[in-house]
Amino acid sequence: MYLTKEEEAILNGELGYPYALAMKVLTTVGASLGAEKLIPVEHAHVSGISYFNIGDAGLEFIESLATSSARFHVFTTANPYAVIIDSMYGSLPEDVRSKQLKIINYLKGMGARAFTCAPYYVRRPSYGEHLAWAESNAVLYANSLVGAWSNREGGPLALFEGLLGKTYAAGVHLREGRKPKCLVRVKTGESASFLHISLLGLKVGELCPDSIPFVEGLENVSEELARIFLASFGSTSNAPMVVFNRLTPDSQELLESSDIKDRFSIDSSDLRDVLLDLRDSSESGGILYFIGCPHLSLDELTYLLRRLQVGGRRNSGKVELWLGVGDTVSLDKETVDYLSEVGVRIIRGMCPVTTKLSLLGVKYVITDSGKALHYMPKLAGVKVVIKDREEILKEFLGGGVR
């Protein structure tokens, strides 16, 4: 791989150990993927910072960098961390909370600007901009809805890329790597809801597990719904991008240059099968409602708060609704107190999916997120039921599952 004089010097330790290590890892990964050079990025996003994901080894790794004066050289954000606030379900053990806080503080010390899985709401990338992002829903959003360019990085690699402000020129950073190789025609014949679109995303991901799909039939969905589709898709597929007919910037050029190998068609009966499988698992006790995977936009949060304030339900003391948002979102104390009284918690900068909720006594989670449905049983140790967002609100405002 060609390196500039400056990059060679960093590799040889001119800026110290963390940057030399970062350059060594980045050039090794880049060379193995056929990259011929490094390119600058405007924004890095680090994933995998929940203590439950990375454990003591991850904490020590981040600590070793932070205490060696490693600092991010470009705008860098990080994924949410484990849920460390108290709730009616209880709290995490003190040693887990303190280790999670150390991870957060080391990353802040290195210059992390925000903790959220929706970094595009903190700093919206521009069309054609190169990024080094490591959260699948964010990468898919950037490539598919903005026309920015990011591979789907691993958490530690994105951290190194944030230190250097560079990535390797391979994958979707090259036009060649953005070609759709799979075509999916969606024929649902129903108006799109959060539930419907979540399930659709999971299904399309299963059909195209390793290749970028060109998706026809979702031309009229809102950006919010396309975002939810992408988050689900990223749970069952490794592809970093979806080309939506007419929604994705340059979709027609990408179709013309495509190399379609597989073609699929999905209709609403396929999705009904999935629903029947999923809806049959309700039980009572230890129930948590959760909306906000990925983290909610301000518009979504505003809408939900209006519904919940108008609803005026008193807290039964048996169930809570958690709303996931980035840590840059702030609400006035009066609203937070009111919400807490009615059993609603704003989970700022945190991710219930990567928190062992079973340690809190949560047995099952009711959510509208296909991504949460996919990951929570394994990562959070709970059962998951997926329902539409409106259905969740109605059920919660009515006092929850009885």
Could you list the residues that contact ligand F3S (CB under 6 A)? 79-80, 117, 137, 231, 293-295, 324, 351, 353-354, 371, 375
| Minimum CB–partner distance for residue 136 and ligand F3S (Å) | 8
d(CA 6, CA 12): 10
Closer CB to ligand F3S, residue 7 or residue 135? 135
Closest to ligand F3S by CB, 79 vs 251, is: 79
Q: How far is the CB of 84 from ligand F3S (least distance, A)?
A: 14
Owner of token pair 């606030």: 85
Shortest distance in whole angstroms from residue 55 CB to ligand F3S: 17
Give the torsion sign (CA, 176, 177, 178, 181): positive
Give the nearer residue to ligand F3S in terms of CB position, either 155 or 171: 155
Smallest gap from residue 347 Cβ to ligand F3S (A): 9
C-beta of residue 90 within 8 angstroms of C-beta of residue 182: no
Find the DSSP H helices in 67-180.
94-110, 136-141, 155-164
* Cβ 293 to ligand F3S shortest distance, Å: 3
Residue with tokens 């490693």: 70
User: Of 156, 157, 154, 136, which Cα lies nearest the Cα of 58?
Assistant: 156
For residue 368, give both structure tokens.
């509208």
Q: How far is 381 from 379, CA to CA, in rounded Å?
A: 6
Supply the angle between the helices 370-379 and 223-236 in degrees, to the nearest 10. 40
Question: Which 3 state secondary structure label does DSSP give 351?
Answer: coil
Quick one: 73 or 371, whose CB is closer to ligand F3S? 371
- Rounded CA-CA distance 27/35 in Å is 9
User: Smallest gap, in angstroms, from Cβ of residue 230 to ligand F3S?
Assistant: 10
The number of angstroms, rounded, from the C-alpha of 61 to the middle of its chain's C-alpha atoms is 22
Q: Shortest Cβ contact with ligand F3S: which residue?
A: 117
Q: Is 174 helix (H, G, I), strand (E, B) or coil?
A: coil
Which amino acid is located at 277 in the chain?
D
CB-nearer residue toward ligand F3S: 114 or 117: 117
**CA-to-CA distance for 148 and 128, rounded, in angstroms?**
5
- Name the residue nearer to ligand F3S (CB basis): 348 or 371: 371
Q: Residue 132 or 254: which CB sits closer to ligand F3S?
A: 132
Instruction: Compute the least distance from the CB of residue 234 to ligand F3S, in Å.
Output: 9
* Closer by beta carbon to ligand F3S, 89 or else 214: 89
CB of 47 to ligand F3S, least distance (A): 7
